[in-house]
Homo-oligomer: A and B are copies of this chain.
Amino acid sequence: MAEIRVMRKVLASNDALAASQLEQLDRNSVFGVNIMSGPGAGKTSLVERTIEALGSKYRVYVIEGDIQGSLDAERVAALGVPVTQINTQGACHLDGLMMSSVFPGIDFSQVDLLLIENVGNLVCPAEFTLPVHCNVTIISTPEGSDKPVKYPLMFTKSDIIVINKIDLLPHVDFDAEELSRAVRKLKPDIPVIRMSTKTGEGVDGWISWLEEKLTGRKEGQGRLS
């Protein structure tokens, strides 16, 4: 039982840390987004599309989480957006402790939108709260429509679900209606948006949703703090 006790303590202390980091974002009217998915579902592509659409209107900052390497951070940096790479050195998720190692180096008074790309994993990232206002989970069509049944916590913890790679629909066995039904069984009112970060189709739905949140956030400064 020792491991379970330690794990509970870790999660509780992570929650407290994330809450105080979220206050820091709120004091600066920064809107934080945590992007989660399995490997290769399109997290970095969603970050890129979001920067393309909103980068001229809002000051975007990106934190990239990877076990090792900086491939994704390089893609973001190529768009001229400030980015910090966290290498988790084997850990399967980002958490508050890792954020506390990079937050002091970021001037949040110069940021409107913080995009945090989590480690590619449909399990563990859902357990560790991050300092954000919204959790996004991406499912790509080649993964199949049964994922909410197999990875329920990830969907329960999310505020919006993105179905990505709809350009592959003619070539894969994927039932978007089945996935939406399974998601809504876990979380009845959650929005489910279909897109292809490759062709750009449907990305506008995500951008509208995000911009509404961003605008509300800026108008109600300190509302959540």
Contacts and interface: CB of A to CB of B under 8 A. Distances in A.
A198 to B, nearest CB: 8
A146 interface: yes
Contact of A38 (B2, B10, B40, B146): B40
Interface residues of A, number: 38
Contact of A90 (B39, B41, B153): B153
Contacts of A144: 40
Interface in A39-80: 39-41, 66-69, 71
A165 B142 contact: yes
Nearest to A40: B143
A124 B122 contact: no
A67 B146 CA distance: 13
A147 interface: yes
A39 B152 contact: no
A146 B74 CA distance: 13
A6 B6 CA distance: 8
10 contacts: A2-B6, A38-B38, A40-B144, A67-B151, A67-B153, A119-B123, A120-B150, A120-B151, A121-B123, A142-B142
Pick the 8 closest A-B CB pairs, nearest first: A40-B143, A92-B123, A142-B142, A38-B39, A40-B144, A38-B38, A69-B149, A39-B122
